[in-house]
Structure 1
Amino acid sequence: MSVDGWHTLLVLGGIRSGKSEFAESLVADAPMVRYVATAPAGDPDDTEWATRLAAHRARRPGSWTTEETATDPGRLAEVITAAGPNDTLLVDDLGGWVTVLLDPAHQPADDTATVAELAAAVRASEARLVLVSPEVGLSLVPTTPLGRAFTDALGATNRAVADACDAVALVVAGQTAWLKPPAASLPTVPAHPPAAHAPTDAPAGARPAGAATAAATGGAGAATGATVGGGHPAGTVGAPPEPRHAAGGRGVDDVALPEVFTPAATPAPAGAPAGPAGAGDWAAPTMALPMIATGLVIQPGMELPMPDDYTGPQAVDRLATLDVPGAGLGVLEQVVGFAAATQGSANPRPWASVRVLLLHGDHEGGASAGAVAGESARRARQARAGRGALARLAAENGASLQVVEAPASAPFEDGPALTGEQVEAALRYGWRLAEQAADAGVQLLVLAACGAGAEAAAAAVLAATAGAEPPAVLGRVVNDQGEIDDNAWMVRCAAVRDALHRTRRSPREAKDILAELGGGDIATATGVLLGATARRVPVLLDGPVGTAAGMVSRDLAGQARHWCLLPDHGGRPGVRLAADVLGLTPLLDLRLDLGEGATALAALPLLRSALTLAASLPVHPSLGGADSEAPAGPADEPDFAEPEPAGPGPTTVGYDQPVSPGRRAD
């Protein structure tokens, strides 16, 4: 499992330790990297040095650009200072920079001031920055004045830069140890008691340096930038930080996200006075979606991480060896495979920390025909108060809940549902919501929605992305008395038909579909899926808004659908079609209709049970596992004692076949 929580990182290591390869792997998935070369050209007759430089150049992808700073030691600080939040810099290495700094051509100079300027530039950098430097603190004191001057200067530089960086790693013989872990590794107060099965190789979430500490209830933390995948070299110890996408920068904006609440398992009855904050008080206002320019750029074709290709099948194969009396977990094997791939472990653990994101955004016009005015807003208020099906199920699952206000969508039969600027802001905002959850240690997100007209908007998105006929993917309309309203259904179908006719010559790019048809809730949900993918957080989809967002996310980052799980189709035709296109097989057929997100929470205990069994059951004794029914005894003693041989000959008698470990011979 990999972690994040840094944007400036110092990689230390000795000669041929693998420090440069490790640093390069951290930014390998960024679309553009500026490689800052600090080493001087050296003696033209030194072929060995030239060979080393050539090897470094050969490893760099063609999309990287190279900038030389060997002529001026002050140039490095200038390059770092000038880099913006969308830039990714790799500086290799500070040993070459110190060599230039001590060059007689640059003397006399205030070396201490130059090192301080570099550290200040690193500390204030908005770019994704990785610096490589030789570690000289473990070597002997050089016997020459020049050698001592170099080690002293490089040691002072390493200390200053390490203090300025968010994280410091030491690479020894290709193995990575974290001297200054990312902020994610620091202990925090969890929203729920930590599970005994929490992974030991890395924390579940990450918090960037300088971010405000989240409250014990999972309160809003500072936003981090866009992350992308990219593991670490085989053999590294611990979990290296993931590289951030070059478009991500350090953060999205400084506007506070909606508050996160953890409902009590037994909420107070309606009308009871509210308790103190943090003890079941859900009445605090939810922030509206901010519409401001940010540094995050979400664009088609982003390279985000994929789940592990190998651990999923390994986990499913392992199920066949468990000591169970029947045939196994049936269709729930998919849950085990999904959890294994997203956790990167062949023995996945149940999700301990779960957050529900309830998106509230109404659609005006014919899309909301038959909906009771103000009903969706009442549902959102109800959730904030800890009442209603969604909040009660969240409480039973120990999940936190965050109510998110998406912008209202204009009638799409008459014109675009959102402006292009609103779509960009909604995508970034959804990304931030996912990042906030990851920073708080959330291991699973549940997407929920309660907007009027959301199902019609999802049907329009499906029609535009999958070529579906609106009547075939638009579910029946049920009024507040529980009766089917065919007239309202026909109005919704007509609105979707008119919207598709209006946009028949419009581009079918992801952002165009969100602007013309999707609206605020689906755009925000799409951003959540992308942000969760970037931070390797799996998502439970449940309903038309989540699956429509999954359809749109394919064009922005095809990896997103692989981090989604669909517990149930809910009997909705649009969800069935989207699941088929996305390759998501619904696990159950409960046909619950308690609102989007509630079915996923109702199924969550069953999914957790499957993971608990897969993680805790032993291997069957016939396959080498311990027999749980065998009498307790010393672990190093067998269940049986063989007779001593009467004389020379084989040491075992009376057995034609070897006895399986842990099973008594008959």
Structure 2
Amino acid sequence: MSLDGWNTLLVLGGIRSGKSEFAESLVADAPTVRYLATAADAGDDPEWAARLAAHRARRPATWSTEETAADPRRLADVIATARPEETLLVDDLGGWVTVLLDPAHQPADDTATVDELAAAVRSCAARLVLVSPEVGLSLVPTTPLGRAFTDALGAVNRAVADACDTVVLVVAGQPCRLKPAVVHPASADATPAAAAPSTAATTVPAQAGPTDESPVTAGGPPLPGSPPVSTPQVPARPTSGADGTGWTAPTMALPVAATDLVIQPGMDLPMPDEYAGPQAVDRLAGLDLPGTGLGALEQVISFAAATQGTPTPAPWRSVRVLLVHGDHAGGVAAGSTAGESARRAEQARAGQGVLARLAAESGASLQVVDAPAAAPVEHGPALDAAQVDSALRYGWRLAEEAAEAGVQLLVLAACGAGTEATAAAVLAATAGAEPPAVLARVVTAGGQLDDGAWMTRCAAVRDALHRTRRSSRDAVDVLAELGGGDLAVATGILLGATARRLPVLLDGPVGVAAALISRDLAGQARHWCLLADDGGHPAVRLAADVLGLDPLTQLRLDLGEGANALTVLPLLRSALALAAALPARPEGDDSEEKGDEPGPVEEPEPDFHEPEPEGPGPTTTAPATEAAETSAARAG
């Protein structure tokens, strides 16, 4: 069960349903967890003491335990003051209600206390999991105290469930999601999720040039239509463009209806073939390859096999580069030359510059995508909700158009002022990173380090994170508060590519930051991504580690996001072509059967000799009892 994208989560379940174990599994990958134990002391009840001991035994040593039974109001205070990088586990609300109803804490304004708890959960900046018994399915208790407990716990569960962004019910060890509703946009005759009833789904056709059609947004200005796709030419000699022959990527019939697509956490998108990748690697072992084979490039073979659904993947012939251009205002862009990113984007449109030249060498088409500019994040949100929704749909549609045009691989590139600092802010918000540790140094056009601009960027990110410390860490909220238009479009591209089973080659901070956000919307998205190079960028290195992506190379090029990917693309194609064309190794050609290749020579083990003792001491190594018997025999 995929539960990516949550920030506050309520786990309900009956007695011995497995709710606590499930809740603990959700935070098992957190480096540290604050475990908030609400139950009162066991007293002289040995069975209750055994239950508490079993819970304690399951907790890892890195978790810290805090007791709240002495003061029920303290639970809300701890949740409200938790930091964004923390992870909290509350087990459970039944114990909290028991203490709240205890005569020792009366008279108490129980309603106000429950409201305080719900408000704390709603504003919690940390990742929070709460466990609570579900008593609404049981019989009505026959005692006044029992009825008071079930009524109070039912009210608490309703208030906390309304405050949480995800609710799961565990029945007989099986988790069932109650909130939000599970989205299944993977059928051929359905759209991802309908925001409103619709009589028909409209498929957005692939566009090869400008169009007047644009996504419909709720109250926000529409983004422009799909930009033209160009095929840059290498000067002075002809190039072989994408001819569309060879393997055609399998796609899903998943139309994007502009009024129906809802991009939200929990989207159920396809996964690559789990068997084709290992089968492709096993197949490599039987090929007629000298030496030890393809080394690190086996990762490429496995990835291509899984995304193509075959153990014999073919090279990517039709490749499209999507260059997302979007600037960020404010301190995150400190040290950037005004108008430089726009000049780079115009260069690419004209088939000039580094990216266009590399695309031409690879026979890849190039599409420059303009994204909405982002407002200064230190003062307010980068975008409003309507702009984020429009940008996500726009990126999804661009990926769909590429799939409809027969593109087999997308290369995600980006250019824009302030993108590196924005990626650092997103990484800090989603992965708990320290901004100065992941924010690369600022280099001027003359090659000098600009420490003043770097400190300004750090301060802007710090202020933005402080401003949003109580905001939800929901993916869409992160895009609105910190991300901006380029990240929103890039996230939509990754989600749309995942829906159409289209692999994406990443390279740079915008790509990996978008992958982090898309992971929280659909956990399958990261499995369709391949990282060309981390470029020595600290944010890319950390994001790759969080995503589980191993960079293929370490070229350390600094030619703009996307340049590393296009540089290694011919190498990746060569590896795929080689693996697809080589025959199997002839039978009887194994190294064990070759007489002319001597095997390893086993050296005899040296004999062990007991060293002679130095100075006075025992002259034998026999046990003491044996020595005593020998002396007695001599005396007799």
Do Structure 1 and Structure 2 share a fold, with TM-score over 0.5? Answer: yes
Q: CA deviation at 1:295?
A: 2.6
Aligned partners of 2:194 and 2:426: how far apart in 1?
34
**Identical pairs, percent:** 71
Structure 2 contact 325–416 (Cα < 8 Å) conserved:
yes
Counterpart of 2:565 in structure 1 is 600
Deviation at 1:555, TM superposition (A): 1.2
**Letter paired with 2:492:** G
Moved more, 458-467 or 254-263: 254-263
Residues of 1 paired with 2:486 and 2:319: CA distance? 21
Q: Which letter maps to 2:569?
A: L
Which of 370, 394, 402 pairs up with 1:437? Answer: 402
Distance 1:301 1:87 in 2: 14
Partner of 2:234 in structure 1? 265
Is 1:126 the equivalent of 2:95? no
Cα separation, 1, equivalents of 2:224 and 2:462 = 38
Tell me, in whole angstroms, the C-alpha distance in 2 between the residues paired with 1:255 and 1:485: 36
Residue 538 in structure 1 maps to residue 507 in structure 2: no
| 1:494 equivalent in alignment to 2:459 | yes
Matched, 1:298 2:267: no
Aligned equivalent of 2:442: 477
Instruction: Specify the alignment match of 2:363 in structure 1.
Output: 398
Give the counterpart letter for 2:555 in structure 1: L
Task: Tell me if structure 1 keeps the 8 A contact 2:205–2:401.
Answer: no
Which structure 2 residues correspond to residues 498-647 of structure 1 after superposition, within 5 A? 498-622=463-587
Q: 1:254 to 1:404 in 2, by over 3 A?
A: closer
Name the amino acid aligned to 2:567: A
Change (3 A) 1:322 1:355: same
Provide closer, same or farther for how the CA distance between residues 85 and 313 of structure 1 changes in structure 2, counting only shifts above 3 A.
closer
**Paired AA for residue 322 in structure 1:** L
Decide whether the 8 Å contact of 1:86 with 1:127 is kept in 2. no
What is the deviation of 1:530? 0.1
Cα deviations by residue, 1:46-95 (Å, 9 ceiling, x for unpaired): xxxxxxxxxxxxxxxx99xxxxxxxxxxxxxxxxxxx999569xxxxxxx
How far did residue 622 of structure 1 move? 2.6
Secondary structure of the structure 2 residue equivalent to 1:551: helix
Show the counterpart of 1:425: 390
Give 1:242's aligned residue.
none
3-state secondary structure, aligned to 2:444 = coil
Match of residue 379, structure 1, among 329, 340, 344: 344
CA 86–555 in structure 1, closer or farther in 2 if over 3 Å, else same: closer
Match of 1:337 in 2: 302
What's the CA shift string for 1:310-366, capped at 9, x where partnerless? 000000111111111111000000000000000000000000000000011000000
Q: Is the 8 A contact 1:454 1:545 kept in 2?
A: yes
Offset of residue 582 of structure 1: 0.3
Partner residue of 2:50? none
1:328 matches 2:402: no
**Cα-to-partner distance string for 1:607-627 (whole Å, 9 max, x where unaligned):** 1111011100011113699xx
Amino acid at match of 1:404: V
Map of 1:182-331 to 2, 5 A cutoff?
A: 211=205, 218-219=208-209, 256-266=225-235, 294-331=259-296
Distance in 1 (CA, whole Å) between partners of 2:212 and 2:586 is 50
Deviating above 3 A after TM superposition, structure 1's stretches of 4 or more consecutive aligned residues are 83-88, 218-225
Q: Are 1:451 and 2:416 matched, yes or no? A: yes
In structure 1, how many angstroms separate the alpha carbons of the residues matched to 2:213 and 2:282? 39
- 8 Å CA contact 1:370, 1:485 repeated in 2: yes
Check whether the contact 2:214–2:224 (CA below 8 A) recurs between aligned residues.
no
| Distance change >3 Å, CA 332–CA 224, structure 1 → 2 | farther
Following superposition, the deviation at residue 604 of structure 1 comes to 0.4
How far is the alpha carbon of 1:296 from its aligned partner?
A: 1.5
> Quick one: which amino acid aligns to residue 299 of structure 1?
Q
CA contact (8 A) 1:223 1:435 kept: no
Alpha-carbon separation, structure 2, partners of 1:502 and 1:476: 24
Query: d(CA) in 1 for partners of 2:300 and 2:330?
Result: 39
For residues 425 and 305 of structure 1, what CA distance do their matches in structure 2 show? 23
- SS of the residue corresponding to residue 488 of structure 1 reads helix
The Cα shift of 1:375 comes to 0.4
- Number of corresponding residues: 380
How far apart are the structure 1 equivalents of 2:305 and 2:286? 16
1:409 aligns with 2:374: yes
- Asked if structure 2 preserves the Cα contact closer than 8 Å seen for 1:316 and 1:337, the reply is yes
Contact 1:211 1:222 in 2 (8 A): no
1:86/1:506 Cα in 2 relative to 1: closer, same or farther (>3 Å)?
Answer: closer
1: CA distance between counterparts of 2:464 and 2:377?
6
How many angstroms apart in 2 are the aligned matches of 1:324 and 1:526? 39
Structure 2: gaps spanning 5 or more residues: 1-175, 178-189, 216-221, 238-256, 594-636
1:402 is paired with a residue whose SS is strand
Q: Is contact 1:259–1:402 with CA below 8 Å preserved after alignment?
A: yes
Contact 2:191 2:260 (8 Å CA) reproduced: no
Which residue in the other structure is 1:361 paired with?
A: 326
Cα separation, partners in 2 of 1:84 and 1:399, compared to 1, 3 Å? closer
